[in-house]
Amino acid sequence: MRLSGLIRKNTVTRISLFILLSFVVCCMWKGVALTDQSEWMASIPLIQVGDPFPKTELVSPKLKADREYLGLSDKPGFYLNEVKADVMLVEFMNVHCLHCLQQAPILDKVFAAVEKEPEMRQRVKFLSIGVGNQEKELEAFRKDNRVPFPMIPDEDFVAMENIGYPEGTPFLMILRKDEGKFIVKFAHMGMIDDPNIFLDKMRLALSGSTVIVSKQNYKSAYQKLNPGVTKEKILKMLILRLESRGYEIDNLLKLNFRKPQQVYMVKVSKGAKKETWFAAVGAEGRVCDICHDVYFIYLFDREGTIRELLPIQLTKFRNVEFDEEDMKKIRADLVGKNLLQPIQFNPDTDAVSSATMTSALVFKSIKRGKKIYEKLKKEGYIK
């Protein structure tokens, strides 16, 4: 491995600096895990059968007919417990998820069957929550697939995170209201291709049966996050990329940050100019149940300006790795932005082709950078 910037002036200096860096690197690498963020996120309880749906303000349906269907007022937001129903089918989905697309006609059949039964029609309501989707994306999906029930956006992943971030979509739940709160009676990650399964679970829930026994077939995405690369490779990636831009790494130190992302302090130089940057390892759980998790490195300076972005695992349709053109696109969208300013993802302009949700997850992870910056400042690394 070439350690640029450390070999300077004369042989004695080169040897001394090489030994010093080797000692520092060995010390900082010993026993350091790459899953600090997953450990932090895993502390968020994953919703299970028997749990109440967490108190989360959701976006009210845009259409008045949808609000009336759910028994809601015209307020911009609502809590699930406000829905006038005894039982609910709640689907967490994403418009770019293949299995969500395939699930849509199945749920349409379930809805039609419920509407034909007077007892169920008055007591059962349906709701889809679009994880990482905008209103206009859901409107197009609903029109194309003739979805007959309300769909609302969870653009910033708030609702998904509040239920513990299951490892993919579609994530389906049947809930029953008990003493004013909706309790999970059935939960399933992935497609269910038989409408009768839903109908049977709903009837059991309506009858007031005890919690429906079912094997939990899902885990939290955060429990599984692991970049799958060595610490040596991460250092090598930084060196190779920065050298290609004319920078030398003078020193690299892992900071004692366990939450929310693994962070390094990087001393760089370009000619006579010396700077201090910070490198954070971004890790985000997949949205679609057949997609890959997202891993990458982003670097920012003492002012909070993003200076570089490197892929660890970034994939598009069919889980094809990003190529150089894809990286050029996402760098153009993010490098130069400041972590202290709002960074909002726009699928129309910011998405890499065939990688809308991967692009959204990169933006989502980088938004956490503001908290990292604030902690660095509090700890005295930024003055």
Residue 234 in any domain: the answer is yes
Q: Is the pLDDT of residue 32 over 50?
A: no
Examine the domain organization and report whether 64 and 83 are in the same domain. Answer: yes
**146: burial class by Cβ within 10 Å (0-12, 13-18, 19+)?**
exposed
Query: CA angle, 319 as apex, 326 and 239 as ends, to 5°?
Result: 50
Separation between Cα atoms, residue 209 and residue 1, nearest integer Å: 64
Examine the domain organization and report whether 207 and 234 are in the same domain. Answer: no
Residue 2 in any domain: the answer is no
- Interval 178-222: pLDDT, tens: 999 999 999 999 999 999 999 999 999 999 876 666 567 788 988
Examine the domain organization and report whether 186 and 71 are in the same domain. Answer: yes
Examine the domain organization and report whether 264 and 295 are in the same domain. Answer: yes
- Interval 319-361: pLDDT, tens: 999 999 999 999 999 999 999 999 999 999 999 999 999 999 9
Q: Is the pLDDT of residue 39 over 70?
A: no
Give the whole-number percent of the chain exceeding pLDDT 90. Answer: 76
pTM of the full structure:
0.85
Residue 5 in any domain: the answer is no
Q: What is the CATH number of the domain that holds 174?
A: 3.40.30.10
Q: Are 189 and 97 in contact (CB under 8 A)?
A: no
Examine the domain organization and report whether 173 and 66 are in the same domain. Answer: yes
Examine the domain organization and report whether 109 and 201 are in the same domain. Answer: yes
Range of the domain at 262: 11-31+227-378
Residue 37 in any domain: the answer is no
Examine the domain organization and report whether 368 and 235 are in the same domain. Answer: yes
* Boundary (domain end) residue, out of 194, 222, 250: 222
Residue 133 in any domain: the answer is yes
Examine the domain organization and report whether 301 and 353 are in the same domain. Answer: yes
For the segment 118-137, the average pLDDT, to the nearest whole number, is 96
* Boundary (domain end) residue, out of 222, 242, 269: 222
Residue 46 in any domain: the answer is no
For the segment 10-31, the average pLDDT, to the nearest whole number, is 35
Q: Is the pLDDT of residue 40 over 80?
A: no
- Interval 222-266: pLDDT, tens: 888 887 666 678 789 999 999 999 999 999 898 887 644 688 999
Residue 252 in any domain: the answer is yes
- The DSSP result for 57-113, as a single string, is EEEPPSSHHHHHHHT--S-SEEEGGGS--SEEEEEEE-TT-HHHHHHHHHHHHHHHH
Name the domain count of the chain. Answer: 2
Examine the domain organization and report whether 237 and 354 are in the same domain. Answer: yes
Q: Which regions of the chain does DSSP assign to beta strands (E)?
A: 57-59, 77-79, 87-93, 124-131, 151-154, 171-178, 181-189, 248-254, 262-270, 273-284, 294-301, 306-313, 315-316, 320-321
Q: Is the pLDDT of residue 5 over 60?
A: no
For the segment 56-70, the average pLDDT, to the nearest whole number, is 98
Is the N-terminal amide bond of 150 cis, ω within 30° of 0? no
- Interval 153-186: pLDDT, tens: 999 999 999 999 999 999 999 999 999 999 999 9
Q: Write down the pLDDT at residue 223.
A: 80
Separation between Cα atoms, residue 263 and residue 254, nearest integer Å: 6
Examine the domain organization and report whether 61 and 184 are in the same domain. Answer: yes
* Boundary (domain end) residue, out of 187, 222, 257: 222
Examine the domain organization and report whether 67 and 165 are in the same domain. Answer: yes
Examine the domain organization and report whether 232 and 358 are in the same domain. Answer: yes
